A and B are shown apart, each in its own frame.
Chain A
Amino acid sequence: MNRRTFLTTLLAATASPLLLARSARAIGPGSQLEVGVLRYGGNFDPRPTALRRMLQEVEKRTSIAIAPRTVQVDPLDRDALFSHPLLFWAGDRSFDPLPDAARANLGAWLGAGGTLVIDSAEGRVGGPFEEAARREVAAMLPGRRFVAVPRSHVLYKSFYLIPEPVGRVAVAQTMEGVFGEDRALVLLSHNDLLGAWARDNLGNYEYDVFPGGDRQREMALRLGINIIMYTLCINYKEDQVHVPFILKRRKWKVE
């Protein structure tokens, strides 16, 4: 840890209690962003602390009101599923096929506005978990397939400017996604994003990043914040580029 990193961490640590102490900015719990973890069986939560830690960063760095906890969502529980439009689906090994009802629920949930972020903790591309997840997504969304998320995609500029998506590892240079008409329904990361975010109760990161460096961990956090921001704002940032043009073309004033 160099001096700059130390000072940054110290500042963040000092500021955290203040930030966490401020009043919630949403009317009720339902107005806050509560992110769920998909409970699909098997090792569904390989990085139990990661999501909460990342959401704390979201709360610190952005205006988004975050619920103080994460929840585990069973795809067979429609009430829980449809009240959480954003779910993380993590794993490090293969798993049994989901029940048909779960697949149907998740398909309807994605169509109604849900977003599924799949994070492989396997540290490689094309591992058993990833293959199983692809199988399930194909069953949920027949006729749709994964495509690479291009570097120009708004996901990489929804809050931070991200040159390359990395996580605990950097085995894949792109994320993949399954896209609907106006947004990504499913995002797939090969780089163990959650592994880069996970911290113990003392605040220490639980896993080293590879190839390494604080910058890689910071960029993994930024990507997590961008994913949250993209899910809530979709292509808003892309619109911003066009605002001056839209306003100009209106010609609504006599000059």
Chain B
Amino acid sequence: MGDFNQIDLLFLGDFGVWVLILLGLLGAAVLGLSWYDLRDMSPLRRGVLVGLRLLVYAIAVVLLLEPAVELKHVTKIKNHVAVLVDTSRSQTLQVDEGETRLGRAQAFLQRDAVQRLLTTPHEDHLFDLFTFDQGVNPTTLQGAVDPKLPAEGDATRILEAVEDVTNRVGRRDLGGFVLLSDGIDSGLLGGRVRRGEGLDQETRAFIERLGVPIHVRTTARSEGLRDLAVEQVLYDDFAFVRNKVSVDVVLRVVGFEPATIPVTLRREGELLQTQEVEVGPDATEYRVTFEFVPQQIGKEIYSISAPGYSGEALRENNRKDFVLKVIRDKIRALQVVGQPSWDERFLRQLLKNNPNVDLISFFILRTNENVQLVPNDELSLIPFPTRELFEDELGSFDVVLFQNFNFRPYGMSQYLPRIADYVRDGGGFAMIGGELSFTSGGYYGTALADILPVRIPPPGAREAMVDTREFVPQLEEAGLRHPITQLAFDPALNREAWAALPPLEGTNLVLGPQEGATVLAAHPQIQANGQPLPVVTVQEVGEGRSMAVTTDTTWRWAMEGVGQGATSRPYFAFWNAAIRWLIQDPELKLLKVEVAETVVPPGGDAHVNVRLVRSDYAPAAGVTGQLDLLFRPLAALDGQEAEATTALQRPFTTDDRGLVELTLPVDQPGAWTVRAAATTEAGKLTDEDIFLVTLDTQELRSIQPREDLLQQLAQASGGSYAALPDDDADDLTFKPARVTQVNRRRVIEVWDSLAVFALICALLAAEWMLRRRWGRL
């Protein structure tokens, strides 16, 4: 070759396709005629002669095409071959005693053949090394084989890494890829191709456009792997309180013999449900669905977990914790009325016209005392569905209103304890006055009396149970700023607004407030045990709230207020606020703490907002308070006894907007609570929010290597595939370098040779001689 570095075979004869076809046909004719002509000879002689003729014909055709050898000296641009080393977290998993998946990749890079390939200057290729996970980072061979090379990526994005490198070097100068990975792709590729599926069209098109081989060496095999993982927990970002919630759990179970695995759902450590899953070697994916009903608004930490088994590659992925935000869709109100009245009419209208209220009403339109002279089919009445309302569906309501309703005629005694428990468990309850309410309604000594905010007297004469005089209720001190009775922000104006209300008529007589209850408005003349008779009283009852309004004429605020030249607003403001207070509307909180994140990785920051408003909901500026950061380890979410510890205490002062914005670094995995406390004229206020600190990465959820995916990737690109450590680098070939310039060129015509001419003559002579000898002219 001398100075030449490339050799090519050429044909100088400038013939078209039709000429070549014609020559082929002519050759076939020669073959046929010869075969026919020599038909009387023995097959051997016939074959020899026909063969010689064909050989001569073939050489003649070759000469006609004028073959030549082209020797060239060319200049090439070396293309880039990228070696991609997966440094995602799954690469830290052990494959052999003491060896990780990443270590196996590094061992491959340290083999002699690979070292030679990567370090010896190559005529066609430049070798670039990259680590990749959720991004791509250039490295060196030394860096790639460094035992301290971290594998901390929270994702594996193979196609994205290939595209990134392609963009870096340019598609024209790309020679190929060597991919060292376990194939657990959490990017485009993994999203498009599920386990057991073939490559999708889009990925195939992408690989085809690349036009270079991707040689894959997988760092781990499924064979011998044993792991149980809560791979995915599928749930909506938020749930509605008292609405059924479904949580779908995907389990990945690899290397297990037939077994029954219990999977549990816990809420804040409390066991809610356990489901058993039958697993076996024939499948790796199992699905479980949990259904439950959140009972409280706010954030709650839920945990899905399965036990750890011996020999598992990773036990940390046997559980997954998540935060569910529970909100309210509509206020679900149950209005039960003992007799139609104006008070009922106006309250029903208020509730019915509120688009945020889902109202179920039940009115007693006829009692056993009423005369009934017509058949039932001429009436539109239906039975009072006590069991449906107070047994089957009670828990679905946010608030229950008993408006001038006596329970006894309807056999409801058995349901009163249920209603009391419903309130203690977080429900809202209001009893509104009338001759069928409180003592007059027979509630003395019942379970419901225990949760009322007023103490009611035993039954007696009518005069001892009701008073029929007109009165204008007076605000108590607590009522000046309470959201229910706050008709004006300024306490003095609020008192005036109440004094200007149309008078009410008649009140139920009670003994006074229950211990711990708050009287918001009272009767101006009547005393109960030395204190003004409560008219509007509220109380916290366990997790719920109750309210007593000892009159049935608040409708007058809506109607007669207009008659006095004012508006219906006081009536609407009072009852709307009452409903919101009863259902514990978070918007009524004066102090509110919110953590922007629900899940923070260890070592990350939680961004906390504290918002403080005064009783009139104006920003509370310059108020000092304290913020506590409480920590519970993850074990507490498993139901184990674990004390919450205070990790941080920090004083704060609100700015002009009544806001405090804090960034809190957190490191320990667990459940964290941010609790804020401040004191304003409304008293001591507290609020809290929760978040999780956990390494919630899909990388360690699905650790079963995806050999099938990698194999398809290699095949589609024309690359090779092998599982480490059983392979070397012999079959690593790449796209040739691109030639940009021919420096020297020499063409040697092969056909223009005496030897070829002599060969043809010799063959013709041999044919002639043999034909004559075998008796033919």
Contacts and interface: CB of A to CB of B under 8 A. Distances in A.
Interface residues of B, number: 73
B348 A26 contact: no
Contact of B379 (A25, A64, A79, A160): A160
Given A113-B559, A247-B360, A250-B243, A30 B382 contact: no
B380 A237 contact: yes
A251 interface: yes
A116 to B, nearest CB: 14
Contact of B506 (A30, A159, A181, A233): A30
Interface string B340-373: 1111111011001100001111011111011111
Contacts of B558: 112-113
A253 B353 contact: no
Interface stretch (B43-51, B174-182, B432-440): B432-440
Given A64-B341, A252-B244, A112 B435 contact: no
Contacts of A26: 341, 434-435, 506, 552
A28 interface: yes
A60 interface: yes
A27 B433 contact: yes
Contacts of A233: 340, 344-345, 348, 363, 365
A229 B365 contact: yes
Interface stretch (A7-15, A120-128, A203-211): A7-15
B551 interface: yes
A229 to B, nearest CB: 6
B681 interface: no
B724 to A, nearest CB: 48
B764 to A, nearest CB: 98
Contact of A31 (B291, B343, B346, B382): B343
A229 B379 CA distance: 13
A9 B344 CA distance: 32
Given A31-B505, A61-B366, A233-B348, A83 B556 contact: yes
Main secondary structure of the interface of B (DSSP, over half): mixed
A138 to B, nearest CB: 21
Contact of A82 (B353, B366, B553, B560): B560
Given A61-B372, A159-B381, A160-B374, A82 B559 contact: yes
A31 B435 CA distance: 9
A61 B360 CA distance: 24
A29 B466 CA distance: 12
A231 B559 CA distance: 14
Given A63-B364, A63-B365, A239-B361, A158 B370 contact: no
A234 B462 contact: no
Given A182-B349, A243-B360, A25 B339 contact: yes
Contacts of A183: 349
Interface residues of A, number: 62
Contacts of B14: none
Contacts of A31: 341-343, 434-435, 505-506, 552-553
Contacts of A8: 373
Nearest to A251: B244
Contacts of B244: 251-254
A216 B353 CA distance: 36
A187 B252 CA distance: 69
Given A31-B435, A247-B393, A252 B345 contact: no
A112 B340 contact: no
A187 B560 CA distance: 22
Nearest to A16: B371
B293 interface: yes
B507 interface: yes
Contacts of B505: 27-31
A110 to B, nearest CB: 10
A101 interface: no
A223 interface: no
A12 B373 contact: yes
Contacts of B339: 25, 63-65
B353 A182 contact: yes
Given A23-B462, A65-B339, A250-B396, A30 B562 contact: no
A157 interface: yes
B568 A232 contact: no
Given A26-B435, A30-B556, A240 B468 contact: no
Given A60-B371, A232-B342, A251-B244, 9 more contacts: A27-B507, A31-B341, A62-B365, A83-B560, A112-B563, A183-B349, A231-B345, A234-B349, A250-B393
Interface of A: 8, 11-12, 15, 19, 22-31, 33, 60-65, 78-79, 81-83, 85, 108-109, 111-114, 157-161, 181-183, 218, 222, 229, 231-237, 239-240, 243, 246-247, 250-254
5 contacts: A31-B506, A63-B338, A111-B562, A160-B379, A250-B396
